[in-house]
């Protein structure tokens, strides 16, 4: 057989397995090409809506005599503009880009958990639609995108507006957390053979850092949202100062997420620049290692700066100055990246092209945003500029400069990859200049408006304020910018419609995503590459045909399975074969059930909430059937004479790591909850509570014992296969006993949780532990079911080992939860003494 | 800060454009030198100086521009939706005013800021920075008007539909007029 025929046959065989089928079956798509494009397209639609809302704001503020919107409409518009741009545009857009690009850059065929990304997409779509529906219905959130309590609490926002935000955004954040786990595991485990950590393309390093930050950054926000929703729905006073709560707790939880969020948005864009700029500079990226060091230090620093959003809440000046210094410090890793890019340019043969024009836009706008950022990091300056239009100008310079311009560069750079067509250049540069000029006219003026004392979020201002001319100029610039974005949209349509097709690698890049046909086939690579140098200095023109002809690893499909390669995290040596699940409607059904869960809370149909919750768990359990093996598979040939085990029989496959990361995120939320309680003890008014805790020692001690028994039994069960159903039954029963004790304590022994935040916190901690023990019982029961159905053997012990991690973790939760009431009441009595 | 920002901005954007068109100018420096000089050498001294200066300025401002004077005037400001209520515990009869804050010129005022409902923020741009009025907490702000006159103030934390109209006025009086302004019949503006 000639190689040509063989390449086409190979393509057909792979497409049959990996491709998304037409018609309604599209809803069952799990392929990263499809899901990534859906994420990006949906987020662009939300971007358009958010932009439209910005135009309404600019229309309102253009004149001091505007009667366009009243205060309530204006409040909904500015709240939704911020919320949409942050949660429904920026994060989902880069998630989509990462979902689409990462498997290609890393030299593999798909992400680690294709169904999870499909589920994340549906959660994002449904949650975002919920927010938009509320906007259309006139009941959109109206307390500002950071939802400060008590304004967003029941007393001052009695409608469902705040509930829409809390539930809708939390629904969307499911997709952010699932994407974080997905991206981390994919980068760490599914790279091409030989691609050690120090050979990874730089974009993967950026996304690894970003995903880790998301994993730690989002849980505090989700926890805060849950607590505020619980306060609104069930009147447990976490933030109500009259009952021992504290509005500042919300601010700490929100900004503990909110500041890292800025870097979570900036770093993917910087990663795109670090990928694109060297291509146009014609030189490999300078300072690869120091950039990685800068990224990691930025990630650490970003979790220590959240207080700089809170300089005016009354924190002592000396404490503020630490956060001020840390905020200034974060300019250093940024400067390192910027000068690494300049060094790259100076050591190459730079050429200007449309992506490079947008990178120029980035440099210009982002540097101004960075400089005003350093100004705002200085406490005395911030006391003046805080909550004025100066801050509005600063944050737009940072986010548009640090995200929108780089992403436009990325869009023009990778659009040929998605469309298979090259840009038609004329419209593109006109569009850039309109956006660039329009943006600067709009927002540079706002610095001045802010310094002249115009506060944020006012829907009208007096004519004698002296702000009218500046505002009018800002509005005019805003409309120019909008026309620029409309031109970009038109340009994209024209590229898809009339762009010239090209053969391969139009920009002469050195990364693996160009070593494939464009638009890409669903399986990316007909066979998988082996990498022997840094993965941004490769030759796609040579690698592409080589892989397409089936000369790499895992070329020919077997048994209709989707197969890819997992490697050793650090060295990149091949470790096992991962067999992915096929296309399925389950993610859609599970997301619909999740949606019912959130809707039941929103419309206060509380009898339906547990029903929907059980449905979600049951549907997730159904996911497990697809990749199960009913007998030991042994080692499989992967090409080049090598043989590897399948992931079911491997020691630490992707799903094992996913559990580690999921527990990390959950533990972050739990620790935030415990520290939230301690924060209230330190900071909140009306402490100590009137009612003392009257929890006896015996029941908490019993819960500690039962949860420990569950952990040990679960752990032994994984080790003593195959006869471990007895141990798992024991684990299941002891988990149920723990959950029962926790709920009993919460319902009978805690003083009235409506009366004081201390009791409310203890109540929630106990419920949190009960929920984890119940989940432990589900895991144990699932293990029994798997053993009975013959899916578990000594070699195939993965299900039980993943379960064992949860058994151990839920025991830790139960033991700390059992001790927490005693800690809190001991501390509270300290105050009263 | 503006004086330092403009050259820094021109430096970075200028270098970008210069190097794109004439990369050979930057080739004499190795990438390592570029990164160390621009990423560490440039920002560290500037940031260190700025941070220390800001700390010193902050301490200075907190004291109202000088060491704590013995004749500190204490006034309470309470934000409620959507107006500011001021109380003068040191003045005989414990008067209160709504929407107008009377202060003696030339003396340091310590305003105790509280809130009755949601979070507000007390701000008189020409006299001092701002401080949030957080329900359940009392925050303090020192301000000082050197000359008698009227100074505009406003709420600067979004507090609901009346936020835009939640402004107030500071009237700084000469020492002899201050108590008269707070006398009977003068309390409502």
DSSP labels, B13-61: HHHHHHHHH-GGGGTTS-HHHHHIIIIIITHHHHHHHHHHHHHHHHHHH
In a domain, B170, yes or no: yes
The whole-number pLDDT of residue B25 equals 86
What's the CA gap between A328 and B44, in Å, rounded? 9
Q: Of B62, B88, B113, at which residue does a domain stop? A: B62
Give the mean pLDDT of A552-572.
92
| A148 CB within 8 Å of a chain B CB | yes
In a domain, B78, yes or no: yes
HEC string for A397-420: HHHHHHHHHHHHHHHHHHHHHHHC
Give the mean pLDDT of A701-722.
91
Decide if pLDDT at A388 tops 60: yes
Same fold, A3-17+31-501 and A676-832: no
Mean predicted lDDT score pLDDT of chain A:
93
- CATH fold of A676-832 reads 1.20.120
**Percent of residues, chain A, with pLDDT higher than 70:** 98
| pTM for this predicted structure | 0.95
Please list, in sequence order, all residues whose beta carbon lies within 8 angstroms of the beta carbon of residue A631, skipping any fewer than 6 positions away.
A790, A793
Please give the structure tokens belonging to residue A203: 């974009």
* CB-based contact A354:A284 (threshold 8 Å): no
Quick: pLDDT tens for B130-180: 999 999 999 999 888 999 999 999 999 999 999 999 999 999 999 888 988
Q: Of B62, B91, B106, at which residue does a domain stop? A: B62
Are residues B177 and B154 part of one domain?
A: yes
What's the CA gap between A117 and A100, in Å, rounded? 11
DSSP labels, A673-722: HHHHHHHHHHH-SS-S-SSPP---SHHHHHHHHHHHHHHHHHHHHHHSTT
Burial of A113 (0-12, 13-18, 19+ CB in 10 A): buried
Helix (H) or strand (E) run with residue B139 in it: strand B139-143
In a domain, B107, yes or no: yes
Nearest chain A Cα distance for residue B131, angstroms: 5
pLDDT band at A1, cuts 50/70/90?
A: very low
Are residues B82 and B58 part of one domain?
A: no
On chain B, the residues whose CB falls within 8 A of the CB of A379 are: 54-55, 58
Are residues B161 and B131 part of one domain?
A: yes
Q: Of B40, B62, B84, at which residue does a domain stop? A: B62
Are B39 and A290 in contact (CB < 8 Å)? yes
Residue A159, CA distances (Å) to A87, A90, A156, A164, A434 in order: 22, 28, 9, 10, 41
In a domain, B21, yes or no: yes
Every domain of chain A and the residues it spans: 3-17+31-501, 585-625, 676-832
Are residues B86 and B56 part of one domain?
A: no
Nearest chain A Cα distance for residue B33, angstroms: 9
pLDDT band at A750, cuts 50/70/90?
A: confident
Which residue carries 């540097």 as its tokens?
A367
Are B156 and A324 in contact (CB < 8 Å)? no
Quick: pLDDT tens for A650-709: 999 999 999 999 999 999 999 999 999 999 999 998 888 887 667 788 999 999 999 999
Which residue carries 């498997």 as its tokens?
A103
Please give the DSSP secondary-structure letter assigned to residue A521.
P
A154: nearest CA in chain B?
B118
Give the mean pLDDT of A292-320.
92
* Cα pseudo-dihedral A610, A250, A390, B102, rounded to 10: 130
Quick: pLDDT tens for A430-442: 999 999 999 999 9
Number of residues in chain A: 833
User: Quick one: CA dihedral A530, A534, A538, A540, positive or negative?
Assistant: positive
Decide if pLDDT at A131 tops 90: yes
What's the CA gap between A564 and A775, in Å, rounded? 31
pLDDT band at A26, cuts 50/70/90?
A: very high
**Percent of residues, chain B, with pLDDT higher than 70:** 94
The whole-number pLDDT of residue B64 equals 56
Number of domains in chain B: 2
pLDDT band at A2, cuts 50/70/90?
A: very low
CATH code of the domain containing B88: 2.60.40.420
Helix (H) or strand (E) run with residue A575 in it: strand A574-580
Are B123 and A72 in contact (CB < 8 Å)? no
On chain A, the residues whose CB falls within 8 A of the CB of B37 are: 339
In a domain, B48, yes or no: yes
Rg (chain B; Cα; Å): 24
Are residues B112 and B50 part of one domain?
A: no
Quick: pLDDT tens for A267-291: 999 999 999 999 999 999 999 999 9
Decide if pLDDT at A68 tops 50: yes
Strand partners, B77: B86, B113
Nearest chain A Cα distance for residue B3, angstroms: 11
ipTM score assigned to the predicted complex? 0.94
In a domain, B189, yes or no: no
Nearest chain B Cα distance for residue A447, angstroms: 12
Quick: pLDDT tens for A406-430: 999 999 999 999 999 987 767 899 9
The whole-number pLDDT of residue A23 equals 87
Quick: pLDDT tens for B101-138: 999 998 889 999 999 999 999 999 999 889 999 999 99
Are residues B95 and B171 part of one domain?
A: yes
DSSP labels, A171-230: HHHHHHHHHHHHHHHHHHHSPPBT--GGGS-HHHHHHHHHHHHHHHHHHHHHHHHHHHHH
Phi, psi dihedrals of residue B169, rounded to the nearest 5°: -130, 140
What's the CA gap between A551 and A545, in Å, rounded? 9
Are A339 and B26 in contact (CB < 8 Å)? no
The whole-number pLDDT of residue B189 equals 46
Are residues B135 and B164 part of one domain?
A: yes
Neighbours of B189 (CB within 10 A): 12
Are residues B81 and B174 part of one domain?
A: yes
Please give the structure tokens belonging to residue A562: 């989707």
What's the CA gap between A249 and A675, in Å, rounded? 10
Nearest chain B Cα distance for residue A370, angstroms: 10
Are residues B82 and B40 part of one domain?
A: no
Q: How many CA atoms lie within 13 A of A462 on its CB side?
A: 8
Are B162 and A71 in contact (CB < 8 Å)? yes
Of B1, B8, B59, the CB nearest to A317: B59
| B42 CB within 8 Å of a chain A CB | yes
Testing the interface with A: which of B28, B130, B169 to mutate, by most A Cβ within 10 A? B130
The whole-number pLDDT of residue A832 equals 62
The whole-number pLDDT of residue A693 equals 61
Q: Chain B neighbours among A 427-456 (CB < 8 Å)?
A: 453, 455-456
Burial of A832 (0-12, 13-18, 19+ CB in 10 A): exposed
Which domain does B125 fall in, by range?
Answer: 73-181
Give the mean pLDDT of A141-167.
94
The whole-number pLDDT of residue A120 equals 96
- CATH fold of A3-17+31-501 reads Cytochrome C Oxidase; Chain A (1.20.210)
Are residues B83 and B19 part of one domain?
A: no
What's the CA gap between A783 and A716, in Å, rounded? 13
In a domain, B115, yes or no: yes
Decide if pLDDT at B183 tops 80: no
Testing the interface with A: which of B3, B28, B51 to mutate, by most A Cβ within 10 A? B51
In a domain, B112, yes or no: yes
């Amino acid at each position: 057989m000639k190689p040509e025929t063989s390449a086409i046959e190979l393509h057909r065989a792979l497409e049959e397995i990996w491709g998304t089928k037409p018609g309604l079956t599209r809803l069952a798509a799990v392929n990263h090409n499809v899901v990534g494009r859906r994420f990006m397209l949906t987020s662009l639609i939300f971007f358009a809506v958010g932009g439209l809302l910005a135009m309404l704001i600019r229309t309102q503020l253009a004149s001091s005599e505007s009667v366009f919107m009243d205060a309530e409409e204006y409040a909904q518009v500015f709240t939704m503009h911020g919320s949409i741009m942050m949660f429904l545009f920026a994060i989902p857009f880069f998630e989509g880009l990462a979902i689409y690009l990462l498997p290609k850059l890393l030299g593999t065929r798909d992400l680690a958990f294709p169904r999870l990304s499909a589920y994340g997409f549906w959660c994002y779509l449904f949650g975002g639609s919920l927010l938009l529906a509320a906007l259309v219905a006139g009941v959109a959130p109206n307390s500002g995108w950071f939802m400060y309590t008590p304004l967003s609490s029941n007393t001052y926002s009695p409608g469902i507006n705040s509930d829409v935000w809390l539930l809708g955004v939390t629904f969307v954040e499911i997709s952010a957390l699932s994407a974080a786990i997905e991206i981390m595991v994919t980068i760490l485990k599914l790279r091409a053979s030989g691609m050690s950590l120090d050979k990874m393309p730089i974009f993967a390093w950026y996304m690894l850092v970003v995903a880790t930050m998301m994993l730690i950054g989002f849980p505090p926000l989700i926890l805060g949202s849950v607590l505020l929703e619980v306060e609104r729905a069930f009147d447990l006073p976490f933030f109500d100062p009259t009952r021992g709560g504290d509005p500042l707790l919300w601010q700490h939880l929100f900004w503990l997420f909110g500041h890292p969020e800025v870097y979570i948005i900036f770093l993917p864009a910087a990663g795109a620049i670090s990928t694109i700029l060297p291509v146009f500079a014609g030189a490999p990226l300078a300072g690869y290692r120091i950039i990685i060091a800068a990224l990691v230090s930025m990630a650490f620093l970003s979790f220590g700066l959240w207080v700089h959003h809170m300089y005016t809440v009354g924190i002592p000046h000396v404490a503020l100055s630490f956060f001020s210094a840390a905020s200034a410090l974060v300019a250093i890793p940024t400067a390192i990246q910027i000068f690494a890019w300049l060094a790259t340019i100076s050591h190459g043969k730079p050429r200007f092209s449309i992506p490079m024009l947008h990178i120029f836009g980035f440099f210009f706008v982002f540097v101004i945003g960075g400089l005003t950022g350093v100004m705002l990091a200085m406490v005395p300056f911030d006391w003046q500029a805080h909550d004025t239009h100066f801050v509005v100008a600063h944050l737009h310079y940072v986010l548009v400069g640090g995200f929108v311009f780089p992403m436009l560069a990325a869009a023009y750079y990778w659009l040929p990859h998605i469309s298979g067509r090259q840009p038609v250049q004329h419209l593109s540069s006109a569009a850039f200049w309109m956006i660039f000029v329009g943006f600067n006219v709009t927002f540079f003026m706002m610095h001045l408006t802010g310094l002249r004392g115009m506060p944020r979020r006012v829907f009208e201002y007096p004519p004698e304020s002296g702000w009218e001319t500046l505002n009018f100029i800002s509005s005019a610039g805003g409309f120019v910018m909008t026309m620029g974005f409309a031109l970009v949209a038109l340009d994209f349509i024209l590229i898809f419609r009339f762009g010239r097709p090209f053969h391969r690698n139009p920009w002469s890049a050195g990364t693996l995503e160009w070593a494939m046909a464009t638009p890409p086939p669903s399986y990316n690579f007909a066979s998988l590459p082996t990498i022997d140098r840094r993965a941004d200095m490769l030759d796609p023109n040579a690698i592409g045909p080589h892989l397409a002809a089936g000369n790499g690893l895992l070329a020919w499909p077997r048994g209709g399975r989707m197969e890819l390669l997992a490697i050793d995290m650090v060295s990149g040596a091949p470790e096992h074969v991962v067999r992915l699940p096929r296309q399925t409607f389950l993610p859609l059904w599970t997301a619909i059930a999740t949606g019912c869960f959130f809707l039941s809370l929103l419309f206060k149909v509380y009898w339906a909430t547990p029903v929907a919750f059980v449905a979600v768990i049951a549907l997730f359990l159904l996911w497990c059937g697809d990749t199960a093996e009913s007998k030991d598979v042994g080692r499989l040939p992967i090409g080049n004479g090598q043989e590897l085990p399948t992931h079911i029989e491997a020691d630490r496959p992707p799903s094992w790591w996913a559990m580690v990361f999921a527990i990390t995120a959950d533990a972050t939320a739990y620790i935030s909850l415990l520290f939230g309680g301690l924060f209230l003890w330190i900071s909140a008014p009306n402490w100590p509570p009137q009612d003392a805790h009257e929890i006896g020692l015996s029941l908490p001690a019993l819960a500690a014992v039962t949860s420990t028994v569950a952990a040990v039994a679960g752990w032994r069960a994984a080790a003593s296969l195959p006869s471990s159903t007895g141990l798992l039954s024991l684990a299941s029963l002891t988990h149920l006993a723990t959950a029962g004790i926790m709920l009993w304590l919460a319902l009978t022994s805690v003083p009235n949780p409506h009366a004081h935040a201390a009791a409310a916190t203890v109540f929630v901690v106990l419920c949190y532990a009960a929920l984890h023990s119940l989940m432990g019982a589900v895991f144990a029961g699932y293990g029994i079911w798997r053993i009975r159905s013959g899916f578990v053997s000594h070699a195939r012990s993965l299900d039980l080992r993943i379960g064992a991690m949860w058994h151990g973790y839920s025991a830790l939760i139960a033991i700390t939860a059992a001790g927490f009431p005693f800690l809190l009441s001991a501390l509270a009595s300290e105050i009263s003494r | 800060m503006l004086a330092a920002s403009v050259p820094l901005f021109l430096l970075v954007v200028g270098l970008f454009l210069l190097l794109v068109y004439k990369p050979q100018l930057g080739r004499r420096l190795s990438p390592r030198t570029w990164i160390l000089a621009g990423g560490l050498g440039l920002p560290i001294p500037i940031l260190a100086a700025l941070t220390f200066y800001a700390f010193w300025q902050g301490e200075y401002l907190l004291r109202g521009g000088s060491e704590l004077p013995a004749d500190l005037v204490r006034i309470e400001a309470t934000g409620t939706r959507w107006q500011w209520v001021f109380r003068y515990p040191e003045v005989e009869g414990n008067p209160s005013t709504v929407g107008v804050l009377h202060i003696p010129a030339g003396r340091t005022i310590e305003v105790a800021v509280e809130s009755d409902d949601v979070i507000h923020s007390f701000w008189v741009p020409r006299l001092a920075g701002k401080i949030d009025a957080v329900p359940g907490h009392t925050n303090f702000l020192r301000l000082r008007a050197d000359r008698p006159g009227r100074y505009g103030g406003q709420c600067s934390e979004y507090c609901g539909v009346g936020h835009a109209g939640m402004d107030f006025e500071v009237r700084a009086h000469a020492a002899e007029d201050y108590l008269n302004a707070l006398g009977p019949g003068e309390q409502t503006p």
